[in-house]
Structure 1
């Protein structure tokens, strides 16, 4: 893992912090604290889930393919060391195969925070008052991306303000949400 990958995955907003943590055979038990509510949430992050969700270029190719299968040869994906790095607001795992994974606290919180997940009955019809987000927030932070996905799930539409009217910025926004695929209708 290089520094560029680490900074790309970290979020500058730091909406959560780690109060305490411990390792076990099953995974890492982490006490997250929200900076907004000061509420504690204890979660267990299973080892296999963590290794499977590593987003570095060694594990995850540009075509969205995994470079390995965690279900085959799981014994080589054992953890060796865990560092909770409050300077970068992230969790660093050194695996026994000499691979390092980095997970920002905000990214983990966004993946695991079920109390804020969108239920089907929370959907609402959109009107003239459409939700909107800043383009840079969606592109640069995991929290901005999460808000966009929540708006799309609840309302079905969201204005993204501040992007240039160009194919490149539209593609960058779409790649932030999902993987671009060529179709019969073009790029």
Structure 2
């Protein structure tokens, strides 16, 4: 007698009319049902991803084969679709046998819809660009304790950082370890030449421009790092009682998009001309000296042509501009347009004690208005960094806790 579960599986198998066939040159096609777009796979891909115990180590999710040259010339001898088990079964010319679950194949469909779904839902959520007029609509606030204690709130916060590029946590305790605790809630803190955590406050003989009370221009942190810090966590312990000390913020990806739309020639200059970013000095408890340099354009794209990283920090742009002479003047003109757009789209807000302002350091230009410390009221922020590799990994484990591969 069939149980309910077995009956459902039996009916599904009966309903499925999938067929498989070999296509020339070098493809295998699975037609699930009439009217549906067939699934199509290269033969070489199927052999490369054979799931049998001889080829694949399931516990480590890794191939076992030593593919120095690869099975490029091994062709399919026969294919069949097993309706009972809903598997594509392949016999190769060398008599090797492979089988693939239809659900597994469907998730790896080479069609545009499946590829885009994986890239947007699993790889990285697409960024939502915003300008000054959209700021209040995209601004999201979370409770600090909720994010620390609840995985659902942690996931929502990380998604906001990935999509909108920033978020504000409210209600953090008067504790110097808040930024560190948030970083460790995600995974691992990023240690830099400024230590595990860093303090932003006016300091005598300041070794960094951020430690002055003067206005801090729109910038990204650490453009002089090849592996630039992913997010910046800034916890306001004490806010200045003066009228200054407000945060400024601009979506750098949105500025780059506007440059591409309005000034395509200048956009291309900022995308292609490398700039020397540098940092020389010493910081941290050990006061270790550092001399960091990285050459990279203002606007960086990923392999798909999407915005991946913005580099902008006037205080950390080297006077050595190691490009051909004729590129320099054109770059300055393009750079001026970029900054004009960035300032026109900047928003201003002031965090209070207990607020944690967190933003995507690869994307957001941030700054600060001038302020003046008063006796007994010294503006004091504590910061930490986390890399996006760690953030995306955490986000995927929250979204797909049962993922196998």
Q: If the length of structure 1 is used for normalisation, what is the TM-score?
A: 0.51
**Displacement, 1:80?**
1.2
**Displacement, 1:115?**
2.1
Question: Is residue 2:49 matched to residue 1:53?
Answer: yes
Higher radius of gyration, 1 or 2: 2
Runs of at least 5 residues in structure 1 that lack an aligned partner in the other structure: 1-11, 132-151, 161-172, 178-187
Alignment of 1:4-153 (within 5 A): 17=16, 19-25=18-24, 26-33=26-33, 40-61=36-57, 64-69=62-67, 71-72=69-70, 74-75=72-73, 77-112=74-109, 114-116=112-114, 117-118=117-118, 119=120, 120-121=125-126, 130=152
Q: Contact (CA 8 Å) 2:27, 2:41: kept in 1 or not? A: yes
**Displacement, 1:51?**
0.4
**Displacement, 1:130?**
2.9
**Displacement, 1:114?**
4.7
Secondary structure of 1:50's counterpart equals helix
Secondary structure of 1:45's counterpart equals strand
RMSD over equivalenced CA pairs, Å: 4.1
**Displacement, 1:47?**
0.5
Q: Contact (CA 8 Å) 1:48, 1:70: kept in 2 or not? A: no
* Structure-2 change in CA distance of 1:86 and 1:48 (3 Å): same
Matched residues in 2 for 1:130 and 1:60: separation? 34
Matched residues in 2 for 1:66 and 1:27: separation? 23
* Structure-2 change in CA distance of 1:44 and 1:121 (3 Å): same
* Structure-2 change in CA distance of 1:79 and 1:40 (3 Å): same
Matched residues in 1 for 2:82 and 2:105: separation? 14
**Displacement, 1:29?**
2.0
Q: If the length of structure 2 is used for normalisation, what is the TM-score?
A: 0.26
**Displacement, 1:30?**
2.1
* 1:115-164 alpha-carbon deviations (Å, 9 max, x no partner): 251423279x8x76939xxxxxxxxxxxxxxxxxxxx88x552485xxxx
Q: Contact (CA 8 Å) 2:18, 2:81: kept in 1 or not? A: no
Q: Contact (CA 8 Å) 1:47, 1:79: kept in 2 or not? A: yes
